[in-house]
Structures are given as C-alpha cells and as structure tokens.
A and B are shown apart, each in its own frame.
Chain A
Amino acid sequence: MSSLESNTEADSDLTPKIPVWELPDVPKGNLSPHLQLQRTRVVCNKEAPTNTENVQYSGAYAAMGVDNSLGLGEFRKRFRVEVIRLTEGDMEFDLIGIDASLANAFRRILIAELPTMAIEKVLIANNTSVIQDEVLAHRLGLIPLQVDPRLFEYMSENDIPNEKNTIVFKLHAQCEKGGSRSTVKTDELKWLPNGSELLLATENMASNEASKPKTYTSFTCSQDSLPEFSKNPIAPKHPDIIIAKLGPGQEIELEAHAVKGMGKTHAKWSPVATAWYRMLPEVVLLQEVEGNKAEELVKKCPVKVFDIEDICKGVKRAAVARPRDCTLCRECIRGDDWEKFVALQRIKDHFIFTIESTGALPPEVLFTEAVKILEDKCERVITELS
C-alpha cells in the first residue's frame, strides 16, 4: 500500500500540475479558404444562392482553433459607416462589419416602431362630395405631417385630448355652384393651434353659458405659443397632395385630429416610405477573360458592371469596374461554362442601407432614433432581470 502511494507521488512530481489559466494559448489557426468563403460570403450560383446562413455560434470553428466570437473590442475595430448620399428626404449609407440580425433590427424598428404623428380621428361636419366619409378619413390619415413627434406624448384610451398629445386641423372646402370642378389639396388643411372648434353637445346648453363652451379637445394653452411651434407652424409635409375633388355645389367641412402612434399599429404612422438594405455584391473573375469573350461579357451585363481594359499589344481583357451596381440578375453566368469565369458573391457583413423618410424627421435622425429604441429595449430586459 505504502509503496503504491509513493509511486503515484513520484508520478505527479514528474508532471507538475499547471492550472488551466496558466497554460499558453492554443495557437490560433486560420480557417481554410473554403470555410472562410462560406463564413463571409453568400455565393450566388446559377441555380440558387448558397451559404446564405450566418455562422453565429462562437465555438463553431473551435476544432480549427479559430474563435468565431466577436468581442466588443473587435467589433469597435471593424465597424465602419460610410455615408454615400444624404438629402433632406433620403439617405444611403454603408454599414460595414455588422451582423445581419442587427441591421435587420434597425430596419424593423425604422418601419414599425418609430413614432410619428398622423391623423387618427376625423370629425365630419358636412360632406356632400362623392368621396365617402370613411374613405376621406382614411386618405387624411395617410398624409405625412411635418412635425417632430418627440415633442408630443402618446394618447391612451382614457386621455383627454390636450395640447401635448393632439394636433387639430380644419378643412373647409366648397365648390361654387355653377362654377367648374375644384380640387382640394393638403394646403387647405389649416392648423388650429387652439384646438377643436366644434362644440361638444351638452344636455342643457343654457345652464353653462357663462363657462367656456366645451369642445372636443381641452387645450390649456395655444400650441403656437409654445417656442417649438411658434417659428415653424405645423402643416402637412407636401402642400399638393390631392385629398378630394369637388363638383359644383359640393362641400367638405371637417376637423382632423392627429395623434402620436407607431407603424405597427397602422402604416400611416411609419416615418419611412421604405427602409431597406442589401448586401454588397462582389463580382470575381476566376480566370482572365480576354478578347472576344471579354466583349461578350461586357455586353451580357445590363447594368455595365464590367469594363474592358487594354493591356499591352491591344489585347482586350475584362475587368470588374462597378460591382456595386450589380443587381445579381445572374445574366453573366448564364449559358455555356460562364460559371467557370465569373463568380457572383455578396459580402455578408457589408450592408448598403437606404432610408426614405416621409418628412417628419430627416433620415439621419430617424436612424439614430431607431438605434436608441433598440438600446431602450435592452435596458428594459436588464431591469426586468435584475
């Protein structure tokens, strides 16, 4: 017994125990080219695209000694934004070094979860036009309003409409009898900074004559006295959207109440006409394409991705000049053995993002607001968990 014990002791002396955290790092391997391609590119073959999924699991390449996790430091180093185009109404920019799940989250928030103001309630006093009340109300709802929604609060079911949650517009249009037909456009929507002018029906009008007559809203102050609206009055974004057409003798008189809401309730509250992204196309020439074949290739592409460059002695060679314009129509790999010459790919972590604003907020503000909303969601989960 004792001899055995001494034996094991001797063994452990030979191989001293090293705690795992003092072991040297496993040498980091490199992914073989085909796995690297699989990880970073979508390959668009003739029949169908392959490698469309993202490898997210941090240990996916552990067997090869490659760490697939994206630490915050690494993310900060890799992530880039490049603005391509920025106008009042739309913008295009590149998000580089970000996962599709995040890019998609921003897109979804832009479309469905950023609040704006839109007409929700329409009180129709008179409508003798051919367009029905409900259709008219629906049309009014879809008119984009130029007003910063961050200055307003949501109105819940039991709230009384006040100057903080409601914007009131009036529309009174008439077509003269005997005249010609007229068109009602959005510039006839007049903002009422003092709230509704329609009186609320009360049981006995006589008794409360002395007090201020009750209307459909109860504003404590005029909205145009507020500093944020006194300089830029609230109005529809475009003055020339057609609301209705009136025949001689027809009339529309109504009041429209706009409230704050989100795109997931109704698309009229969506602050973007569209927000979308696409992955950056990458066109690779697998072999030199020269001579007639080069000219054929240039002619094949409908958006002129390829150019011909003259190399010495008048030999013509095809070159990829504008891969960004590629629509991945796959025309260039159709027929014969073109797939051996051209490879169409998309870069998985390079997104060309486009935002078209409806006008309430400029597109760059919309994007920052969208990112903020995702942050708020995380914060909510954190507080709920702790």
Chain B
Amino acid sequence: MEHGSYQDQSKATFSLTDEDHTLANSLRFTLNQDPRVTFCGYSIPHPSDARVNIRVQTTGDPASEVLKDSCQDLMLMCQHVRSTFDQAVIDFKNQKILEAMDIKL
C-alpha cells in the first residue's frame, strides 16, 4: 500500500504487510545504493503487527518506480548469490572427490 500525494510522486511511504526487518533492511540497502534516492528509511510501527513502513524520497522520479527498481536489483543480487553459491558448493564437492581419489592411489 502506498501513501503519498498525487502532486508530488517523488516522496512516498510504502506500507508492506507480513514483512519485517528481513526485507525492509535489505531494501533500504538497495535503495540507498540508487543515486536517485535522496532519503530512505524504514520503521516497524508496532512489534505485534506484521507491518513495515518504508519511506522513499527521490530526486524527482516517482518513488514507486524507484522502489520497484530496487526490488528488481535485490532480486538480481539474490540470483547472483545463489548461482555463485551453487557453483562454489559444486566445486568444493568435486575437489573433495578428487582428494579422496588421491588417497586411494
């Protein structure tokens, strides 16, 4: 859910349900890395409702677009983490197999 004004779309607060620090803090990181963002931060209004508010202020682009791009960035980063990790695990296992064979020889 987005709270903002129609006149100025470059500032908005996004209220995400069923999310917590896990997503909000990662998004704050990717948002901060975007040069279009002048300010961003998040808060959890009350610990017993599952909701975070993410505030985004930009240099002019619509805040929702910038947030969407950040999500996209975060997703691509995750995909890269996953593929790198999988490759590292495969390499490690192969190396272990090679080492085991060396011992037998």
Q: Assess whether B7 is interfacial by the CB under 8 Å rule.
A: no
Contact A98 B81 (CB under 8 A): yes
Contacts of B20 in A (CB 8 A): 108
Instruction: Tell which of B33, B78, B84 touches A80, judged by Cβ atoms closer than 8 Å.
Output: B84
Contacts of B32 in A (CB 8 A): 56-58
Asked if A382 meets B68 with Cβ closer than 8 Å, knowing A56-B28, A80-B84, A368-B82, the reply is yes
Query: What is the interface size of chain B, counting residues whose CB is below 8 A from a CB of the partner?
Result: 43
> Which chain A residue has the least Cβ–Cβ distance from B20?
A108
Contact B78 A374 (CB under 8 A): yes
Q: Assess whether A385 is interfacial by the CB under 8 Å rule.
A: yes
Residue of A72, A98, A104, A381 with most partner-chain B CB within 10 A: A381
Q: How far is the CA of A58 from the CA of B35 in the complex (A)?
A: 6
Contacts of A75 in B (CB 8 A): 77, 80
> Which chain A residue has the least Cβ–Cβ distance from B37?
A58
Contacts of A368 in B (CB 8 A): 82, 85-86
Q: Which A residues from 297 to 339 make CB contacts under 8 A with B?
A: none
Q: How far is the CA of A228 from the CA of B12 in the complex (A)?
A: 48
Contact A105 B81 (CB under 8 A): no
Q: Assess whether B3 is interfacial by the CB under 8 Å rule.
A: no
0/1 interface trace, chain A 360-386, chain B, CB 8 Å (1 if under): 000010011001101101110110111
Asked if A382 meets B72 with Cβ closer than 8 Å, knowing A79-B84, A368-B86, the reply is yes
Interface of A is mostly: helix
Contact A86 B68 (CB under 8 A): no
Q: How far is the CA of A379 from the CA of B92 in the complex (A)?
A: 31
In whole Å, how far is A33's beta carbon from the nearest beta carbon of chain B? 24
In whole Å, how far is A90's beta carbon from the nearest beta carbon of chain B? 13
Query: What is the interface size of chain A, counting residues whose CB is below 8 A from a CB of the partner?
Result: 42
Contact B72 A56 (CB under 8 A): no
> Which chain B residue has the least Cβ–Cβ distance from A353?
B85
In whole Å, how far is B52's beta carbon from the nearest beta carbon of chain A? 11
Q: Assess whether B44 is interfacial by the CB under 8 Å rule.
A: no
Instruction: Tell which of B22, B29, B84 touches A56, judged by Cβ atoms closer than 8 Å.
Output: B29
Contacts of A101 in B (CB 8 A): 25-26, 28-29
Q: How far is the CA of A105 from the CA of B87 in the complex (A)?
A: 21
Q: How far is the CA of A93 from the CA of B86 in the complex (A)?
A: 12
Contact A93 B35 (CB under 8 A): no
Contact B82 A371 (CB under 8 A): yes
Q: How far is the CA of A86 from the CA of B96 in the complex (A)?
A: 10
0/1 interface trace, chain A 210-239, chain B, CB 8 Å (1 if under): 000000000000000000000000000000
Contact B33 A371 (CB under 8 A): no
Q: How far is the CA of A57 from the CA of B37 in the complex (A)?
A: 9
Q: Assess whether A76 is interfacial by the CB under 8 Å rule.
A: yes
Contacts of A59 in B (CB 8 A): 35
Q: How far is the CA of A343 from the CA of B33 in the complex (A)?
A: 30
Contact B67 A83 (CB under 8 A): no
Contact A86 B22 (CB under 8 A): no
Contacts of A375 in B (CB 8 A): 75, 78-79
Q: Assess whether A31 is interfacial by the CB under 8 Å rule.
A: no
Contacts of B85 in A (CB 8 A): 81, 93, 364, 367-368, 371
In whole Å, how far is B50's beta carbon from the nearest beta carbon of chain A? 9
Instruction: Tell which of B35, B79, B91 touches A69, judged by Cβ atoms closer than 8 Å.
Output: B35
In whole Å, how far is B8's beta carbon from the nearest beta carbon of chain A? 18
Contacts of B75 in A (CB 8 A): 375, 378-379, 382
Q: Assess whether A109 is interfacial by the CB under 8 Å rule.
A: yes
Contacts of A381 in B (CB 8 A): 16, 23, 27, 67-68, 71
Q: Which A residues from 101 to 138 make CB contacts under 8 A with B?
A: 101-102, 104-105, 108-109, 113
Q: Which A residues from 56 to 87 make CB contacts under 8 A with B?
A: 56-59, 69-72, 75-76, 79-83, 86
> Which chain A residue has the least Cβ–Cβ distance from B54?
A381
Contact A72 B34 (CB under 8 A): no
A sample of 18 inter-chain contacts (CB < 8 A) reads A75-B80, A79-B81, A81-B85, A83-B89, A83-B92, A93-B88, A101-B28, A105-B25, A108-B22, A372-B78, A374-B74, A377-B23, A379-B75, A381-B16, A381-B67, A382-B72, A385-B68, A385-B71
Besides A72-B77, A105-B23, A384-B16, 6 other A-B contacts (C-beta < 8 A):
A58-B37, A79-B84, A81-B88, A86-B93, A104-B22, A381-B16
Top 3 closest pairs, chain A to chain B, by CB: A83-B92, A56-B32, A81-B88
